[in-house]
Amino acid sequence: MTPRLREAVGQGMTSQRVRDRLVERLRAGTDNSAGIRDENVLNAVRTVPRHLFIDEALATRAYEDTALPIGHSQTISQPWVVARMTEALLQNASPKKVLEIGTGSGYQAAILAALGLEVYTVERIGDLLRQARKRLRQLGMNVRSKHDDGRIGWPEHAPYDGIIVTAAAPALVSALVDQLAVGGRLVAPVGGASSQSLIKLTKREDGGVDEEVLAPVVFVPLLSGTLD
């Protein structure tokens, strides 16, 4: 934990007790979602101050297990979804360099960085990226970020041991699969507005991929182009 991250932990409505209750809910799961088992992931959720990644007016809801609006028709993902995607990326693997597509508020990137990973993140909406960069700097987190079309990825730093996509496309984006290292995992929502599934893809030595469906999810669409 960085010194600045440590300073952000444990005050009032955002106290460690509140975060601990969220972690226990994630560990227990629900009738519709499996519990999170990776203690390193749960500890990252416990540590990273989610209230700093949302509007101050919503701070009292920061540790509910729900998605929240962050502006520009985007959301900060439900904590269970963040934890499940991260857990899938780490399961039986030791990734070092990870690419995130869709920085959003910066929360998912912060969780990855808190786990000691080398994080690269791409965001198409300039205003969101500027806010995320500020938050990550305030917490002393070393995350490399880029304002660009996420569907292109960040080929200059490929291959990646893991890729997390935080917006849904009708099919897996081939440019991102190409940037995945052999043995690497890509975790992404796939589908349209009416039906989406969280998919884990593992790249084989022959260049092919193995796919596993993890859970039904709801994400904003993965769009092309950039906005200032």
Catalytic residues: 77
Please report the beta strands in the chain, taking only residues with DSSP state E, as ranges in sequence order: 68-71, 74-76, 97-101, 118-123, 143-147, 160-165, 180-191, 196-203, 209-216
Give exposure, 46-62, as e/b (b: 16+ Cβ within 10 Å): bbbbbbbbbeeeeeeeb
Pick from 55, 46, 61: nearest CA to 13: 61
Pick from 183, 177, 156: nearest CA to 165: 177
Q: How far apart are CA 34 and CA 109, in angstroms?
A: 23
Give the pair of three-digit tokens for residue 85. 């995607």
Q: Concatenated DSSP letters for 121-141?
A: EEESBHHHHHHHHHHHHHTT-
Strand 196-203 to 180-191 pairing: antiparallel
Q: Cβ distance 160 to 99 under 8 Å?
A: yes
